[in-house]
Structure 1
Amino acid sequence: MFSCLQVLVHGVSVGHTCTFLPSKDGSKGRIVLVGGANPNGSFSESYIINLETHEWDIPGWDGLQARYEHCGFVAESDSLCVFAGAEQTGNLNCVQILHTSDDITGHGLWKTVQVKGTPPSARTYHTNSACIGDRLFVFSGGDAGATPVTDPQVHIFDSVSATWTQPETRGTPPAPRHGHVIAAVGTVLYIHGGMAGDKFYSDMFSLDTETMKWEKVRAKGDVPPGVAAHASVTFGRNIFIFGGMTSEGATNSMFKFHSDKQQWTLVKFEGDLPPGRLDHSSCLVPWRVRTGNSEEHATQNSEPDVKHLCFVFGGMDTQGVIFNDCLVTIVT
């Protein structure tokens, strides 16, 4: 079932990113929300949910260029990065970085990376799952309105060397699109859905990042309808997608893709589902749970069970209602 995480909520937002940052002191960690927008404009602020206290912190981070519908990722080099997105004056293609090894709730500075190589053209690119190791993979994205960029290339940003490359690929790539999700399972990237103009895509493609070969996934099972502006998390060999916009409006469905079986399953929940939404953001949160409730049990240094949660924040429906709720559901 979906549950509403009770936190002291900040304002409504769409097009933000949310990223889980593990704790270094044994606590439950934090979730960082970066950027986003509402009818008043785009944001240059970041917010932190403390999962130990269920309270918001506003870190003293300066330097972020206001943006929404960007992507965010934490590289293995322990830095939080954002790329692309849009602001009121147009699309962006810069990379900004914040070193998370510093005091996460204290003062910090977003720095614009002086990149080497040729960066992708400015675009919207709303995902937080397209990172393998220290490399961010970029394919397609939004140009203007419902029109995607026409660029068919795969762009790779190496966050260690700050270098963009465009490797040659084999096979037939997906059609240009925006609002798609990109998720990594091991060394394979999966691209699902998205839209171009008034067309919603229901297809799925894989890209083996070792051979750089595209393949169309012939998925079976409960194949989702064409959808865009949805969100995804990956756990193990499975990809979970939630929400998005279809030709029928905003949806609140969740689907699970078994990458080994190449099969979709509609996830069924007990109880009420949250409102359908698009342009929200999600991340995977490991949650430590100790079995038993006695004080004696708690002092035996037993390893806690770890459940994995899909965390969802914000988004909007097709009538323009913007949400500020925090939702969680167990995916293990």
Structure 2
Amino acid sequence: MAMAFEAGTYPCWELLECQGEVPQSRSGHTCALYNNRYLYIFGGFDGSSCFDDLYVLDLETRLWRRIEARGDRPSGRASHSAVTDELAGVMYIFGGSGSHFGYTNKRDLCEFCFQTETWRLLSNPVEDKQVGGCRLVF
């Protein structure tokens, strides 16, 4: 059974007018949705340097806010991955690349706690390990 949509109804794109501290233009950043209401933006690249900043957009109030998080904030990066864990109330950031793309690839794993607005470094491998003829990367 096919569904028919009237012009201007779901699904469609809508430009949101937002207030607050809007992040500057960037590429290679990540967006992660939490509680179906908060959109978190981390990192990215502006053509000359990588960002290590974190912003949140409240989709109900349409208000941007730059987060001044505590803890071990990840270094500036682009082309990384981000995912949220709704049950644990955290976001994970993995890998990416620094400003010298291809020469500053990262393998660290960081956790951001939404409630306390605190970063925590979970893993920062410094070397590859050889195990039984197989090379394992941690």
**Structure 2 length-normalised TM:** 0.77
Looking at structure 1, the residues matched to 123 and 39 of structure 2 have their Cα atoms a distance apart, in angstroms, of 26
1:272 offset after TM fit, Å? Answer: 6.4
1:243 and 1:252 in contact (8 A); partners too:
yes
Alignment of 1:241 onto 2:93: yes
Looking at structure 2, the residues matched to 181 and 251 of structure 1 have their Cα atoms a distance apart, in angstroms, of 15
Q: Taking structure 1 as reference, are residues 197 and 164 closer, same or farther at Cα in structure 2, changes over 3 Å only?
A: same
Q: Taking structure 1 as reference, are residues 216 and 271 closer, same or farther at Cα in structure 2, changes over 3 Å only?
A: closer
1:252 and 1:273 in contact (8 A); partners too:
no
1:244 and 1:251 in contact (8 A); partners too:
yes
Q: Taking structure 1 as reference, are residues 179 and 271 closer, same or farther at Cα in structure 2, changes over 3 Å only?
A: closer
1:273 offset after TM fit, Å? Answer: 6.1
Alignment of 1:262 onto 2:117: yes
2:109 and 2:124 in contact (8 A); partners too:
no
Match of 2:68 among 218, 232, 235: 218
Q: Which residue pairs with 1:183 in the alignment?
A: 32
Q: Which residue pairs with 2:134 in the alignment?
A: none
Looking at structure 2, the residues matched to 260 and 191 of structure 1 have their Cα atoms a distance apart, in angstroms, of 16
Q: Which residue pairs with 1:162 in the alignment?
A: 11
Task: Give ranges in structure 2 of 5+ residues lacking alignment.
Answer: 130-136
Give 1 or 2 for the bigger CA radius of gyration: 1
Provide the secondary structure at the position in 2 that maps to 1:200.
coil
Provide the secondary structure at the position in 1 that maps to 2:123.
coil
Match of 1:228 among 78, 81, 95: 78
Task: Give ranges in structure 1 of 5+ residues lacking alignment.
Answer: 1-113, 118-159, 275-326
1:210 offset after TM fit, Å? Answer: 0.8
Q: Which residue pairs with 1:252 in the alignment?
A: 107
Where does 1:101-250 land on structure 2 (aligned, <5 Å)? 161-186=10-35, 187-236=37-86, 237-247=89-99, 249-250=104-105
Q: Taking structure 1 as reference, are residues 252 and 269 closer, same or farther at Cα in structure 2, changes over 3 Å only?
A: closer
Give the counterpart letter for 1:265 in structure 2.
R
Looking at structure 1, the residues matched to 106 and 125 of structure 2 have their Cα atoms a distance apart, in angstroms, of 17
1:270 offset after TM fit, Å? Answer: 8.4
Q: Deviations over 1:197-218 (max 9, x none)?
A: 1211111100001101000001
Higher relative contact order (CA 8 A, sep 6+): 2
2:107 and 2:124 in contact (8 A); partners too:
no
Q: Taking structure 1 as reference, are residues 164 and 176 closer, same or farther at Cα in structure 2, changes over 3 Å only?
A: same
1:233 and 1:240 in contact (8 A); partners too:
yes
2:44 and 2:78 in contact (8 A); partners too:
yes
Give the counterpart letter for 1:201 in structure 2.
F
Percent identity over the alignment is: 32
**Structure 1 length-normalised TM:** 0.33
Q: Deviations over 1:132-166 (max 9, x none)?
A: xxxxxxxxxxxxxxxxxxxxxxxxxxxx8121111
Q: Taking structure 1 as reference, are residues 235 and 247 closer, same or farther at Cα in structure 2, changes over 3 Å only?
A: same
Q: Which runs of 4+ in 1 moved over 2 A?
A: 268-274
